[in-house]
Amino acid sequence: MSRASAGRPRAVGRAILFAAWLLSRAAIAQSAVQQAVPQPREPITLLISLDAFRSDYIQRPAAVHLRALAARGVHAERMVPSFPSKTFPNHYTLVTGLYPAHHGIVANVVADSVLGRFAVGDNPQVRDGRWWGGEPIWVTAERHGVRAAPYFWPGAEAEIAGVRPTFYAKYSDRVSHATRINTVLEWLGLPKARAPRFATIYFSDVDDASHRYGPFTPEADAAIARVDSCVGALVAGIARLGLTEITNIIVVSDHGMAPIAPERTIFLDDFVSLDSLEVIDWTPIAALAPKAGKEAYVYRQLHGAHPHLAVYRKAELPARLHYADGARVPAIIGISDEGWSVTSHARFALPGGKPKGGAHGYDNQLQSMSATFVAAGPGIKTGGITVPAFQNVHVYSLLAELLGVKPAKTDGSVDSVRAILRR
Ligand code: AMP
Ligand code: ZN
Ligand code: ZN
C-alpha cells in the first residue's frame, strides 16, 4: 500500500471533517444573518416642521423632495393654522390638537397673572411645564409605552403632565441641519428595544429668510431649497436604515408669510396714550392689557380708529378664531390686515424698527397664512392624492392614529383627516 493509498482514508476523513466544519461555520453564519435581520418593528412616525413654509411653496422649483414625497402619498391643498398664525401657538396646536386659547401658548409673547412673561427662544419659560397645557402627542405616546423623540419642538424641553419624552435636546438655532438629521436618524436606527417610534425635527430657514427679505425673494427660494434638501436627506437616511416601509413621514409648517412694508404701519400712539396700557405683543396682533380703570378708554380710542386695524374686546372676538376663552388672552386685541404692522413712533425710529421683509400672525383664514401638509408612509394613502384644506387642530388625532395610541380629548378629530389615512 502506498503511502498515498494508506493516506487516503485519513484524507477522506479530513475532507469530511473540513466539510462538517464548513457546514458548522455556515450554520453559525446563517444564525448570525438571522440575528442581523431586523425584528419586525411597529410603524414609526417622523414629523418634520419647516417653519413658515407657505402652502404654495411646494410649487416652487426648489421643492423637489417635498413634491416627490407628496407624489408617494398625500398632500393637502393647504392646512389652516390656528389664530394667531405664530410659531409657538401653532407648533403646540399641531402636537396637542388644542386651539392656542385652550393649550395656553396664546402667542409668542404671553402674560400670565401668576407666572409672569413667556417669550420664545432660549428662555427658562420654554422649559417650565406650567406654561404648557394639554397633552402633547409625545406625552400620549410615552403614556402608552411608545418612546418619543421630539428633537426641537416647542414644549419638548418641558416636563408636561409629569412626563418627559425619552429623547429631546435643548433648542439652539446654531445646531446645523446635518447634526439635526444625523441625530434623528441615529435615534431611529437604534435597536428595537431602545428606538423611538415617534420623532420630530425642525428647520427654521424659510422663516428666517422670509422675515428678513420677504416671502417672494431669491433668499426665500434659497431657504426653500435648503429645507427641501433636508427632507430629501431624511427620506434617504430612512431608506438607508431599511425603515422606509414602516415609516410615516409627515411634513408640516406652522403658518405662511406675507410681505410687509414701512408704508403699511399702524402707530398705536396716534390714537391712544401708551401710558394707559401694557402692550404684551405688538404686531401683527396687538395684545393689549389696559391699566386699571382704562379699558373703556383704550377701547374707545382704538376701535374703528384705523381702517387696517380691527379692535375687539376679548369677549367680542369672532367665534371662528377660537380665541376669546383663553385665560391668557388680554382684554383688548387688535388684528391688523394682511401686510400691515403695528408699532409706536418710538419703536419705528429704532434701528431695524421699520417694517420690512415678511410677517405672519395675521388672521388664520388668509391664504397667505396657509401652512403645508404632506405625508407618505404605511399608514397614509398612496398615489399622490390631494385632500381639501383642513385645520391644524386635527394633526394630533392623525398622529395618535398612526402611533396606535388612544388620543386625549382635543379640539380636533381623526374623522376630519380620515381621507389621509390608508385604513
Ligand atoms: P416666529 O417669530 O413666530 O417665527 O418665531 C420663530 C422663533 O421661534 C425663532 O426665533 C426660533 O428661533 C424660535 N424657536 C423655534 N423653535 C423653538 C424651540 N423649540 N425653542 C425655543 N425657540 C424656538
Ligand atoms: Zn413659525
Ligand atoms: Zn416667523
Q: What is the pLDDT of residues 255-295, one digit of tens each?
A: 999 999 999 999 999 999 999 999 999 999 999 999 999 99
Residue 123 CB less than 6 A away from ligand 1: no
Half-sphere exposure in the Cβ direction for 134 (13 Å, CA)? 29
Q: What is the pTM of this model?
A: 0.91
Residue partners of 409: CB distance under 8 A and separation at least 6:
none
Could you read off the pLDDT of 77-123 as tens digits, one per residue? 999 999 999 999 999 999 999 999 999 999 999 999 999 999 998 88
Of the two residues 20 and 319, the one the predictor is more confident about is 319
Q: How far is CA 203 from CA 121, 263, 356, in A?
A: 14, 31, 22
Annotation marks residue 87 as catalytic:
yes
Of the two residues 167 and 40, the one the predictor is more confident about is 167
Ligand nearest, relative to CA of residue 175: 1
Q: Which of 117-121, 188-192, 360-364, 379-383 has the lowest mean pLDDT?
A: 117-121
Could you read off the pLDDT of 223-246 as tens digits, one per residue? 999 999 999 999 999 999 999 999
Question: Residue 2: what pLDDT?
Answer: 32
Helix, coil or strand: residue 305: coil
Could you read off the pLDDT of 126-151 as tens digits, one per residue? 999 999 999 999 999 999 999 999 99
Of the residues 45, 87, 183, 283, only one is catalytic, namely: 87
What sign results for the dihedral spanned by CA atoms 377, 76, 404, 142? positive
Question: Residue 60: what pLDDT?
Answer: 97
Could you read off the pLDDT of 293-317 as tens digits, one per residue? 999 999 999 999 999 999 999 999 9
Q: Is the peptide bond before 191 cis (omega within 30 degrees of 0)?
A: no
Helix, coil or strand: residue 112: strand
For the chain, the structural domain boundaries read: 3-105+120-257+366-420, 262-355
Residue 170 CB less than 6 A away from ligand 1: no
Closest C-alpha residue for ligand 1 atom 9: 121
Structural class in CATH, domain 3-105+120-257+366-420: alpha beta
Q: Which helix (H) or strand (E) holds 211?
A: helix 205-213
DSSP label of 227: H
- Averaged pLDDT, 181-194: 97
How confident is residue 39, by pLDDT bands cut at 50, 70 and 90?
A: low
Question: Residue 203: what pLDDT?
Answer: 98
Amino acid (one-letter) located at 324: A
Burial of 187 (0-12, 13-18, 19+ CB in 10 A): middle
Residue of 83, 88, 138, 254 best suited for mutating to test ligand 1, as the one with most atoms within 8 Å of CB: 88
Rounded to whole angstroms, the Cα distance separating 81 from 252 reads 11
Residue 203 CB less than 6 A away from ligand 1: no
Of the two residues 4 and 357, the one the predictor is more confident about is 357
| CATH number 3.30.1360.180 given to 262-355 | yes
| Strand pairing category for 357-359 and 258-260 | antiparallel
- Averaged pLDDT, 338-349: 98
Rounded to whole angstroms, the Cα distance separating 386 from 240 reads 28
**60, 373 in Cβ contact below 8 A?**
no
pLDDT exceeds 80 at position 40: no
How confident is residue 38, by pLDDT bands cut at 50, 70 and 90?
A: low
* Mean pLDDT, all residues of the chain: 92
How many A from CA of 401 to the centre of ligand 2?
25
Question: Residue 6: what pLDDT?
Answer: 33
Task: Give first-to-last CA distance, the chain, whole Å.
Answer: 78
Beta bridge partners of 201: 48
Burial of 174 (0-12, 13-18, 19+ CB in 10 A): exposed
How many A from CA of 362 to the centre of ligand 3?
12
- Residue ranges of the alpha helices (H) in 37-151? 64-72, 87-96, 100-103, 137-143
- Averaged pLDDT, 395-402: 98
pLDDT exceeds 70 at position 22: no
Residue 249 CB less than 6 A away from ligand 1: no
Rounded to whole angstroms, the Cα distance separating 346 from 352 reads 12
Q: Minimal CA–CA distance to 161: which of 185, 187, 135?
A: 135
Q: How far is CA 207 from CA 219, 313, 357, in A?
A: 11, 30, 11
Ligand nearest, relative to CA of residue 257: 3
Question: Residue 12: what pLDDT?
Answer: 38
Closest C-alpha residue for ligand 1 atom 4: 87
How confident is residue 21, by pLDDT bands cut at 50, 70 and 90?
A: very low
Question: Residue 423: what pLDDT?
Answer: 84
Residue 180 CB less than 6 A away from ligand 1: no
Question: Residue 23: what pLDDT?
Answer: 41
